[in-house]
């Protein structure tokens, strides 16, 4: 069956998180006042340095769960 071609995208819009997240947002306030770097130090012994696939950053994983808790998101897939 012959299909009609879909229209091409002729315009590109560049958007950054800085533009999307308001300056007075709760997450910006938390990021400004809390350093989560201690998580990397605490979990360093749990990760293998030379075997297996590269791991996700434990700070990123913690922040994802923290955001889910703050905004009542119960599923990790929804985060």
Position 16 pLDDT exceeds 80: yes
Using CA atoms, how far apart are residues 36 and 57, in angstroms rounded to an integer? 11
Q: What is the pLDDT of residue 1?
A: 62
What average pLDDT does the structure give for the chain?
A: 89
The arithmetic mean of pLDDT across residues 12-26, rounded, is 90
Q: Read off φ and ψ for residue 64, nearest 5 degrees.
A: -65, -45
Read off the pTM: 0.69
User: Among 21, 11, 42, which Cα is nearest to 61's?
Assistant: 42
Helices 58-70 and 26-33: crossing angle in degrees, nearest 10, is 140
Confidence category of residue 42, pLDDT binned at 50, 70, 90? very high
Asked whether the predicted pLDDT for residue 34 surpasses 90, the reply is yes
Rounded Cα gap, residues 23 and 8, in angstroms: 35
């Amino acid at each position: 069956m012959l299909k009609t071609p879909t229209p091409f995208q002729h315009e590109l819009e560049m958007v950054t998180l800085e533009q999307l997240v308001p300056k007075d947002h709760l997450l910006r306030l938390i990021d400004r006042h809390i350093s989560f770097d201690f998580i990397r130090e605490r979990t360093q012994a749990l990760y293998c340095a030379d075997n297996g696939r590269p791991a996700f950053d434990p700070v990123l994983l913690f922040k994802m769960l923290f955001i889910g808790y703050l905004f009542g998101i119960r599923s990790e897939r929804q985060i």
